[in-house]
Amino acid sequence: MPESNEKIHVVTRNRKARHEFEIHSTLEAGIELMGTEVKSIREGKINLADSYAIIEGGQVYLKNLHITPYGMASGTPVDPTRTRRLLLHKREIGKLTIKTQQRGMTLVPLTVYFKGKHVKIELALAVGRRKFDKRQAIAKEEAQRRIKQALRKETGK
């Protein structure tokens, strides 16, 4: 997440994304939301699983982001999985368009958080891993975990 002096409160993370994809770079974007959606996010009623971003007509849209409707809202409820526009500068969208046209590149949301009073999302430019790559990544993580445990045991004695 980008560094700043504003207070950051992480609401949710897409843990599956780091397993399913190889992350190349990340960027921060705002999300165009309705008022009741912000209240639901404050309550933590958001699910990033299976969500992804696409670029259409010079805009970036987030698909399949599930925000549970706010319980105390009056009026007609908002569709929980509606397509939401992401707020980025034109030059950022241009760079992303070029990179996503490369073979296998996709935009995946990693984290939703509050930066001050604004809801932000951390997007990753990523490539999908094959089954072999996933196994290799798991083996590497387990090896790192064993090394850390061994070092803790040595220093603990």
Query: Has residue 18 been placed in a domain?
Result: yes
Give 85-137 as a 3 state SS string: EEECCHHHHHHHHHHHCCCCEEEEEEEEEEECCEEEEEEEEEEECCHHHHHHH
Least confident of 63-77, 78-92, 110-124: 63-77
Q: How many domains does the chain have?
A: 1
Query: Has residue 36 been placed in a domain?
Result: yes
Residue 35 in this model has a pLDDT that exceeds 70: yes
Tell me, what's the pLDDT at 4? 60
Split at pLDDT 50, 70, 90, the class of 157 is low
Task: State the Cα–Cα distance between residues 84 and 53, nearest whole angstrom.
Answer: 9
Tell me, what's the pLDDT at 74? 78
CA 32 to chain centroid: 15
Looking at residues 68-91, what average pLDDT do you find? 89
Encode pLDDT of 100-143 as tens digits: 887 778 999 999 999 988 999 999 999 887 776 667 777 888 88
Q: Let me know if 84 is exposed, middle or buried by CB neighbors in 10 A (0-12, 13-18, 19+).
A: buried
What pTM, to 2 d.p., does this model score? 0.77
CATH number at residue 112: 2.40.280.10
Task: State the Cα–Cα distance between residues 113 and 118, nearest whole angstrom.
Answer: 8
Query: Has residue 137 been placed in a domain?
Result: no
CA torsion 148-131-100-84 (nearest 10°) is -80
Query: Has residue 134 been placed in a domain?
Result: no
Average pLDDT, the chain: 88
Query: Has residue 150 been placed in a domain?
Result: no
**Residue-range definition of the domain harbouring residue 22:** 8-129
